[in-house]
């Protein structure tokens, strides 16, 4: 079972539970995690970190003090597989762009994408290049459609508003925007849904390309060019 622990302003810390053990993803603060562990009477087995930004890591030291023997992914040398007793085997996927060290954690049926792939959006490019971010998103888009997407922030409504601006005829975007109006928690999404609603995964759409060309005031022939200008547009949205 996977549960959200809201943190900070709009972060999600994800808890993967198996019996009395739990894996925590991206603890931006410790207090809500400790409260959750104590309320549910759970033992903290591991902390997995997608990238180094403070709002995903600030709770690590306090949680290590709370559970001395906990495994912390960014303090260990990771291969492309992560095997933790009593939990699914995770594939560690490098997805640079937002940061150079960004990784996703994938197990059949689930992927934790941090700040790379959001529902209907993607993260800002702080350390990497547009080419790296575009490639990382394409990597995630190749996961099975039924894969549930657990990302690091609740940004879905604003992302969908932007998606509708750049692709106004996309009825999937409009339907999903209407659906989430009454939802505090819009996650998880799925890879299959994201390929229908997320403009950053739809740079081959003629309508999106035409919209982005108006913003860029130039013709764009390659999907990476569309992506680069689309991300610049979203930065100003």
The model's pLDDT over 87-113, given as tens digits with 9 standing for 90+, comes to 999 999 999 999 999 999 999 999 999
- What is the maximal distance between C-alpha atoms in the chain? 58
Q: Which of 10, 25, 17 is nearest to 59 (CA)?
A: 25
Q: How confident is the model at residue 232 (pLDDT cuts 50, 70, 90)?
A: very high
Q: Does a structural domain hold residue 160?
A: no
Say whether pTM exceeds 0.85.
yes
Q: Kindly report the backbone phi and psi dihedral angles of residue 61, in degrees, each rounded to the nearest multiple of 5, phi listed first.
A: -60, -45
Q: Does a structural domain hold residue 166?
A: no
- Does residue 75 carry a pLDDT above 70? no
* 159-185 average pLDDT score: 96
Q: How confident is the model at residue 153 (pLDDT cuts 50, 70, 90)?
A: very high
Q: Which residues, in sequence order, are CB contacts of 172 under 8 Å at separation 6+?
A: 193, 196, 197
User: Which residue range(s) make up the domain with 70?
Assistant: 1-79
CATH number of the domain bearing residue 59 = 3.60.15.10
Task: Give me the pLDDT at residue 19, please.
Answer: 87
Q: Does a structural domain hold residue 10?
A: yes
- Does residue 78 carry a pLDDT above 80? no
CA distance 153 to 180: 15
Task: Give me the pLDDT at residue 74, please.
Answer: 76
CA distance 187 to 118: 10
Q: Does a structural domain hold residue 168?
A: no
The tally of domains found in the chain comes to 1
Q: Which residues, in sequence order, are CB contacts of 76 under 8 Å at separation 6+?
A: none
Q: Does a structural domain hold residue 7?
A: yes
Q: Does a structural domain hold residue 34?
A: yes
Q: Does a structural domain hold residue 18?
A: yes
Q: Does a structural domain hold residue 181?
A: no
Task: Give me the pLDDT at residue 79, please.
Answer: 74
Q: Which helix (H) or strand (E) holds 91?
A: strand 90-94
């Amino acid at each position: 079972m996977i549960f959200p622990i809201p943190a900070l302003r709009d972060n999600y810390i994800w808890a993967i539970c198996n019996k009395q053990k739990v894996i925590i993803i991206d603890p931006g603060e410790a207090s809500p995690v400790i409260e959750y562990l104590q309320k549910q009477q759970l033992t903290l087995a591991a902390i997995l970190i997608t990238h180094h930004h403070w709002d995903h890591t600030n709770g690590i030291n306090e949680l290590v003090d709370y559970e001395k023997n906990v495994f912390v992914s960014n303090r260990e040398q990771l291969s492309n597989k992560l095997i933790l007793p009593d939990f699914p085997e995770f594939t560690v996927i490098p997805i640079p762009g937002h940061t150079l060290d960004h990784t996703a954690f994938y197990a059949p049926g689930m992927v934790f994408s941090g700040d790379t792939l959001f529902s209907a959006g993607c993260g800002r490019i702080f350390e990497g290049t547009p080419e790296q971010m575009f490639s990382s998103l394409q990597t995630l888009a190749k996961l099975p459609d039924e894969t549930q997407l657990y990302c690091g922030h609740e940004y879905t409504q604003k992302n969908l508003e932007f998606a509708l601006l750049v692709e106004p005829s996309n009825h999937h975007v409009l339907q999903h925007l209407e659906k989430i109006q009454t939802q505090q928690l819009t996650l998880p999404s799925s890879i299959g849904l994201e390929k229908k609603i997320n403009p950053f995964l739809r740079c081959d759409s003629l309508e999106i390309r035409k919209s982005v060309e108006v913003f860029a005031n130039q013709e764009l022939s390659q999907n990476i060019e569309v992506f680069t200008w689309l991300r610049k547009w979203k930065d100003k949205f």
